[in-house]
Structure 1
Amino acid sequence: MACRRGVRYCLLTYRNRRIEFGMRKGIIWAVLFLTEFLFAAETGMVAGFVREAESGEFLSYVSVYLADKSMGTATNKQGYYVLSRVPEGKHTLIVSMIGYREERLEIDVRADKRLRRDFYLKPQPLGMEPVEVTAERARFEHEVDVGVRHVELSELKQIPGFVEQDLFRSLHMLPGVVSVSDFTSALYIRGGTMDQNLVLLDGVTVYNPYHLLGFFSTFILESLKGAELYTGGYPARYGGAISSVLDVEMKAGNSERIAGYGEIGLLTSKLVVEGPLPWGAKGSWLVAGRRTYIDAITWTLDKIFNPDFSIYLPYHFYDLQAKVNWDASERSRFTVSGFFGDDVLSLKGAEEEGYEEEEGVTDLDFRWGNGTLGLRWRYLFTPQLFSVLGFNATRYRVDSKVVERNGEEYYYRLRSGIGELGLQWGLSWFTAPEHVLEFGLEGKVIETSSIQEETDTVFYDLRDTFWLAAAYVQDKWEPTPFWVIETGMRGEYFSKGDYWRVSPRLGIKRRITAAWAIKAGAGLYYQYLCVPLPRDEMMLKMPVQFVQQWMPADERYPPLHSTLATLGTEHLFGKDMSLSVEAYFKDIRNIREATWFGGEGITTDTGDISMGQGYSYGAEVFLKRGSAWLGYSYSVTKYRFEDSDWFYPVHDSRHNVNFSFALPLGKGWNFTTAWVFGSGFPFTAQIGWYQHVNEEGEIDWMPISGRRGEVRYPPYHRLDAGFTKHFKLFKRYDAEFYIQVLNVYARRNVLFYDYEIDENGVTQREAVPMLPVPIPSFGIRARL
């Protein structure tokens, strides 16, 4: 409506009203601030750590609340809790977690005072009723948990293993996680490839977490506290991967007494020893080791049976993990952790085909493996404010050497690797029971190398060094008991290519009832290092992960990035049953494919890299009750590169069902089983042949391939089972004998089809199976 009393009058009226509104707003804020100040002056705070009584291990997601349930919280990953704004007076503080005795403590809260109260929970004896509040309940009430799977060591031990229990193979039982064959433990998650996963061990990156060419993962299961798998929607403190984050944490070690664990299996043995620091220092230590004896077994069989051809395989792998924690004071803790592991294949004096023993000898020496080192200093400035400062070092390297001696010595050597040095600093501020702010800075220097040489000639020596800097802010806010909101922002700079990137993150949960909630999450993610996909489909299905060649983003090849949106719901049934349903859509850009991939690596100058894009969408259902898991996932994944149309990649599996449970049989016997089903994987079929004249003038039949990923293998399914028998070793130590069988009903799942053409020109196709027969394994393990 136009002003009819003059422009000057209208402007003066508008100014006066703005002044009046500003004064009213100022009065309102002043009242709110004064109310907050007066309220805070009449409240206090209680904070502390929650540990396991027998080992001193910090416990995550323990419920801590007042008896009248007026306020409560849960411990974080460090086992720390804060209850602020507790009304002045006497209260009963309750600490509870399933599997442990409930602890109650009378506290006297004084205005503007801070109480430090630590708790040591004792295991719940058998036969007593379980506590009412569990870690699952605490996470349900206080965490958004979009696309997150919390995996405990005790749960992984209930799943039959391939020779032994393995972390990665156990994760294959979760919805959204795909395994492309029985010969690899690589993780393909929500349409992503195995190099798009960020794997962390105590906060340090592990670039190639595989052994035995991919059969096993590198972590010693009994040395781990647990793991968190983020299949999407991970918070802003994580960066550098576009598909998933696997955050693995080692045990801190037993701070109360010296304890041990030993296991002798069919192909491996392992030993874990832990205890308190000596000389009265507060803290703990842990050392774990594992070694295979494939070399010793095959050497023995070779000597006993003396076959026509030698079956001796001089191969082994080993792992060594260690961790030391020192509590310098109640506020300060220093931690040093490390992991070192290698695969070794060494053939000394092998006869070269076509030579007599005295004429030609070949030595082969292949070594590949990881090494990590992490230093952490956690310091509590106040009960509401603590920081973690860390130094990280990690490397993965491959070193292969072939020496031939036939009068003169000739050798061929190929070396490649990736390593990084980094600093991290994070700050957590518990501003209120319902509000936690996190800030962080990160910087790392990364070096890649690839060297090929023969005798006196160096064919190439490629080394590259670049750096990454990042900063993030993250906020978790519970405005009401029914809402949890997580927002975050991560900024990154990558020096090679001069890339600046910003990644927003968002997660929301709304509890509809005390046991039912809906949740949603979205985010943008970037990745600056990747392994280009080999065009040869079989290279992804076979265990060849040790030849990974990491390639950084640069001016020609921008960083990978993905956009992910997730919508889900979860429901708690009773005290030990939960149901989670999630649907997602992921858009993937700037993925790379190696159009030629061989042992000499990838050189981007020769045009061997094809850029592409992809997308994935699907739904996942996960039902969990005690030790029983039931998962189902539906997914669709499609890729397209510069020189191809849209196609289904080898890890696209439409339907997947996973089921596992453990059943006590009495008298110390337990039964465990797992069943998996998956739709057939796509492959490129051979649809014909043509004749080709080679350099010698001979005629070769060459295959004609159909459309890429157009047809599929038959559905995959497999049943595994195992029995364990508990007993007392030497009438003193808790021990158990186990026997496990993979592929119980001998399902001949197809690995690939072998095509041949007979003398009549007719194509013959033969299916090559993965595990054609049941595979048994057995062993004994004991706690010392």
Structure 2
Amino acid sequence: MNLKSTFLLVGFLLLSSVLAFAQTTRTISGYVREKGSKELLIGVNVLLADGSAGTSTNTYGFYSLTLNYSDSITLIYSFVGYEKQIKTILLNKNYEIDLELESQNILNEVVVSAKAEESKVSESVQMSKIDVPISQIKKLPTLLGEKDVLRVLQLMPGVQKGSEGQSGIYVRGGGPDQNLIILDDAVVYNASHLFGFFSTFNGDALKSVELIKGGFPARYGGRLSSVIELNMKDGNKEKLSGEGGIGLISSRLVLEGPLRLNKNKPAKSSFIISGRRTYLDQVAKPIIAAQNKNSESKETAGYYFYDLNAKFNYEFSSKDKVYLSAYFGQDKFAINSKSEETEASNGINWGNATATLRWNHQFSPRLFANTSLIRSNYDFNITGSQNTLKTQTTEAYSYFLQYTSGIKDLGLKYDLDFFMNQFHTFKTGFQITSHTFTPSATVLQEATQNLNVNNVSKIKSIESGIYVEDTYVPNPKLKVNLGLRVSNFNTKSKHYIRPETRIAVAQKLSPTLAIKASFAQMNQYLHLLSNTGLGLPTDLWVPTTDSIAPQRSQQVAIGVAKDIARFPGISVTIEAYHKKMDQIINYKEGASFLGIGGQTNFTQENNWEDKVTSGSGVSNGIEFMIQKKTGRLSGWIGYTLSKTEWLFAELNFGRKFYPKYDRRHDASVVAIYELNPRITFSGTWVYGTGNALTIPLTQYTAYSSNINKNSANPDGLRGFDVNEYGQKNSFRAEPYNRLDLGIQFHKKLKRHERTWDLSIYNAYSRKNPFFYTIGSANETAFFGGFQGINTQDSKIVLKRYSLFPIIPSLTYSFKF
């Protein structure tokens, strides 16, 4: 038998097997929507009443379940915060069942209905995943009235906070660049406003938020530490509705509704648009004007941010839907001063813009496809200039600074969901992205020549990946997710091709108890260079190059998931993990992008690759979480015990050291209590081990010849302070802890609902450390205390600076 005949025989046998199997099975498929808005719901559980088989809706609300032929079956449709539905059908044919779940409205019920069905953590094969209901996010205490999605994720075990007021997150020992943040399939590179104090996401416009911190499915790639997937609402198809709020520093508004030509027919299209803007610049104007009246120099300053979300969808048929979504956000800060001798101008601007065009197509009751065309753009820019006129005591002086970082992406993504049968669910697809990087830094002193600062070098590269994964359920007690992803990154003259294995297993020991384990390999082709470790927008994104290898990690996790049968809705998870990271990069000692006297060109000699060094890291930890998502009392308690160490041959004398955000203990308590339909109480308490920092051990004065002839003492010696340091990050800041409290007053009026939200941030006014400096003992630190360092000549003290004392805020929110 020749090779051609062999292939024909194998193909015939496979086709015969599929046809024979199809004759003994039936498929139930459809879409699940929210009643009253027809919003497609993500993650709705569709289970057989006996628990022998089940599935859940995908990102687009579609589900499919293939079962053996049966006289009668009972299906349970359940979702957190919604009334469950039960369907009994005669399974003698294929069914398309579209249904709507009704939301439980606390304003209409004193006690949340016990008929709600919780999703059980013991049922899912996925581990290290956290879903946060948007309804819970809106009820938690706020900082200055802003409901911040990323700040809520910081309260989860395994997710460390940055500094006080920072929205950057650090997952299982990883840096802020190692988190893949996705909004409607588009990557968001810098998800912060107000220098990191707030995230870029308006919670009123979001439908779902999901965090995966380990055991990554093969469909995700490109980052080492976590995946944060956010999905915008599709828009109300029933009626025009909206919600918004007015806070101390910003206001927001969301409008959504149907688009239809015939009012007597169901809408096939809908829209949603949201906007948010601060008015700090307007509040500051009269204050600055008053200061200028009594000053010889005149200053102007202003800061504001805004963001806009928009989404449009159209249903061509029951099998074809198109979505167009976009996000635009910008931060602008400027400060200018002018006097008789000096004129200075400084500004910082950064922003994100994304656009996604998606097409859903249902080939059959078992095969679902999505095609996405994605555009993402991130820009950051600092400009500064100063000109000083020549006087009798000083020479003319000029200074110029420009610092930019940007990424432009254009990508294509294709995903297939194949619900083969009750034992196998396949996902496969590919993604290809064209990156354009524009990192640049320019510093000029005594600038007398014109410099074309807009001529920034561009670094282009292609990143791609192809994957396949299978969720295999050999029996009701065992679930296995097997995946393989092959990623590729093209540089100027090199191709990196990396396979990534993904395995997740869940074994049920009882109807409410499961043990889980996972293994995941990840590769990351982007790097974030930072001098501060804060994850601020001043950090620069750079790509993998011929000489800078991609980051990679291996993570193993094992855990237990328990649903408490006696107390429905309460779940407990305990996980332990080991994570190894390689080829992470950092600046060499004393290196920086900013070089004095010229322009840094990142494609010529002496570029950024000569200023960085690569190393490895290891993170180990144990995480505990008890969570309750529904009921009058909801919330969670989380605790993490972890340790992270880095090793760089060219840093810290080749010895291991702790990265800044290594945190031995991290704990959080979150509680929401619905007293009655009109009053909601909430509170959060957090505790964390202090950051690892490098501080001077002592300070002394050194002297050198003074060569400045214009100085008051041109022939003498010039003294300057010198700091002496020990090992890197060998000092521990004081522990961080904070209590936030909130109370909401709801009232349902004839045509709308309104809520007054009173929040108290840092209720007991804890003076948490923001940063430390050293100086003389007679200086006073802002909000802080200090400890002394004695020298022979004087007393030098280490000062702790704190950022936020107790901050009350009041917000008015409405919904119609």
Structures share fold, TM-score greater than 0.5: yes
Tell me the secondary structure at the aligned position of residue 516 of structure 2. strand
> C-alpha distance in 2, partners of 1:76/1:663?
31
> C-alpha distance in 1, partners of 2:218/2:756?
44
Q: Could you say which residue in structure 2 is the equivalent of 1:14?
A: none
Q: Could you say which residue in structure 2 is the equivalent of 1:180?
A: 162
Q: Could you say which residue in structure 2 is the equivalent of 1:322?
A: 310
Unmatched 5+ stretches in structure 2: 1-8, 390-395, 707-716, 778-790
Give the deviation of 1:663 after TM superposition.
2.0
Q: Could you say which residue in structure 2 is the equivalent of 1:734?
A: 753
> C-alpha distance in 2, partners of 1:504/1:379?
29
Residue 36 to residue 127, structure 1, CA distance change in 2 (3 Å): farther
Q: Does 1:775 align with 2:807?
A: yes
Residue 167 to residue 691, structure 1, CA distance change in 2 (3 Å): same
Q: Could you say which residue in structure 1 is the equivalent of 2:679?
A: 669
Q: Does 1:96 align with 2:82?
A: no
> C-alpha distance in 2, partners of 1:716/1:97?
36
Give the deviation of 1:252 after TM superposition.
1.1
Residue 494 to residue 98, structure 1, CA distance change in 2 (3 Å): closer
Q: Could you say which residue in structure 2 is the equivalent of 1:612?
A: 615
Q: Deviations over 1:447-495 (max 9, x none)?
A: 0113456762247732111101211111101110001100100111111
Among residues 252, 269, 273, which one is paired with 1:287 in the alignment?
273
Does the Cα contact within 8 Å between 1:315 and 1:346 map onto a contact in 2? Answer: yes
Give the deviation of 1:104 after TM superposition.
3.5
Tell me the secondary structure at the aligned position of residue 607 of structure 2. helix
Q: Deviations over 1:31-61 (max 9, x none)?
A: x999986664244221101110111112233
Q: Could you say which residue in structure 2 is the equivalent of 1:527?
A: 524
Does the Cα contact within 8 Å between 1:368 and 1:399 map onto a contact in 2? Answer: yes
Name whichever of 632-641 and 660-669 sits farther off. Answer: 660-669
> C-alpha distance in 2, partners of 1:311/1:132?
62
Give the deviation of 1:742 after TM superposition.
1.1
Among residues 102, 111, 114, which one is paired with 1:122 in the alignment?
102
Residue 465 to residue 247, structure 1, CA distance change in 2 (3 Å): same
> C-alpha distance in 1, partners of 2:275/2:300?
24
Q: Deviations over 1:175-204 (max 9, x none)?
A: 011113113111011000001111110111
Does the Cα contact within 8 Å between 1:92 and 1:105 map onto a contact in 2? Answer: yes
Among residues 694, 704, 714, which one is paired with 2:734 in the alignment?
714
What amino acid sits opposite 2:771 in the alignment? Answer: F
> C-alpha distance in 2, partners of 1:656/1:109?
51
Among residues 544, 569, 579, which one is paired with 1:576 in the alignment?
569
Q: Could you say which residue in structure 2 is the equivalent of 1:12?
A: none
What amino acid sits opposite 1:285 in the alignment? Answer: F
Name whichever of 607-616 and 86-95 sits farther off. Answer: 86-95
Tell me the secondary structure at the aligned position of residue 281 of structure 2. helix
Q: Could you say which residue in structure 1 is the equivalent of 2:365?
A: 383
> C-alpha distance in 2, partners of 1:667/1:235?
40
Residue 240 to residue 634, structure 1, CA distance change in 2 (3 Å): same
Q: Deviations over 1:359-404 (max 9, x none)?
A: 6543434321000011111100001001111111101112333456
Q: Deviations over 1:416-443 (max 9, x none)?
A: 3111101011111000023111111111
- Considering Cα pairs closer than 8 Å and 6+ residues apart, tell me whether 1 or 2 has the greater RCO: 2
Aligned length: 739
Does the Cα contact within 8 Å between 2:516 and 2:560 map onto a contact in 1? Answer: yes
Matches within 5 A, 1:60-209: 60-67=42-49, 71-110=53-92, 113-124=93-104, 126=109, 130=113, 134-137=117-120, 140-141=122-123, 143-163=124-144, 164-209=146-191
Among residues 542, 550, 566, which one is paired with 2:557 in the alignment?
566
What amino acid sits opposite 1:109 in the alignment? Answer: L
> C-alpha distance in 2, partners of 1:743/1:56?
40
Name whichever of 749-758 and 500-509 sits farther off. Answer: 749-758
> C-alpha distance in 2, partners of 1:592/1:130?
52
Name whichever of 380-389 and 276-285 sits farther off. Answer: 276-285
C-alpha root-mean-square deviation of aligned residues, in Å? Answer: 2.7
Does the Cα contact within 8 Å between 1:176 and 1:190 map onto a contact in 2? Answer: yes
Does the Cα contact within 8 Å between 2:45 and 2:119 map onto a contact in 1? Answer: no
Name whichever of 291-300 and 52-61 sits farther off. Answer: 52-61
Residue 35 to residue 209, structure 1, CA distance change in 2 (3 Å): closer
Residue 451 to residue 592, structure 1, CA distance change in 2 (3 Å): closer
Q: Could you say which residue in structure 1 is the equivalent of 2:710?
A: none
Matches within 5 A, 1:385-784: 385-402=367-384, 413-451=402-440, 456-458=450-452, 461-496=456-491, 497-534=494-531, 539-541=532-534, 545-573=536-564, 574-595=567-588, 596-599=591-594, 605=607, 607-626=610-629, 627-643=634-650, 644=652, 645-666=655-676, 668-694=678-704, 696=706, 697-728=717-748, 731-757=750-776, 761-771=793-803, 773-784=805-816
Residue 161 to residue 615, structure 1, CA distance change in 2 (3 Å): same
Residue 452 to residue 555, structure 1, CA distance change in 2 (3 Å): closer
Q: Deviations over 1:674-718 (max 9, x none)?
A: 000111222223212343234633111201011112221221111
Q: Could you say which residue in structure 2 is the equivalent of 1:3?
A: none
> C-alpha distance in 2, partners of 1:252/1:498?
39
Unmatched 5+ stretches in structure 1: 1-25
Name the TM-score, length of structure 2 as normaliser.
Answer: 0.85
Q: Could you say which residue in structure 2 is the equivalent of 1:20?
A: none
Does the Cα contact within 8 Å between 1:63 and 1:133 map onto a contact in 2? Answer: no
What amino acid sits opposite 2:519 in the alignment? Answer: A
> C-alpha distance in 1, partners of 2:553/2:636?
30
Tell me the secondary structure at the aligned position of residue 486 of structure 1. strand
Residue 417 to residue 98, structure 1, CA distance change in 2 (3 Å): closer
Residue 765 to residue 572, structure 1, CA distance change in 2 (3 Å): same
What amino acid sits opposite 2:333 in the alignment? Answer: L
Residue 127 to residue 70, structure 1, CA distance change in 2 (3 Å): farther
> C-alpha distance in 1, partners of 2:16/2:363?
27
Does the Cα contact within 8 Å between 2:149 and 2:201 map onto a contact in 1? Answer: yes
Does the Cα contact within 8 Å between 1:724 and 1:738 map onto a contact in 2? Answer: yes
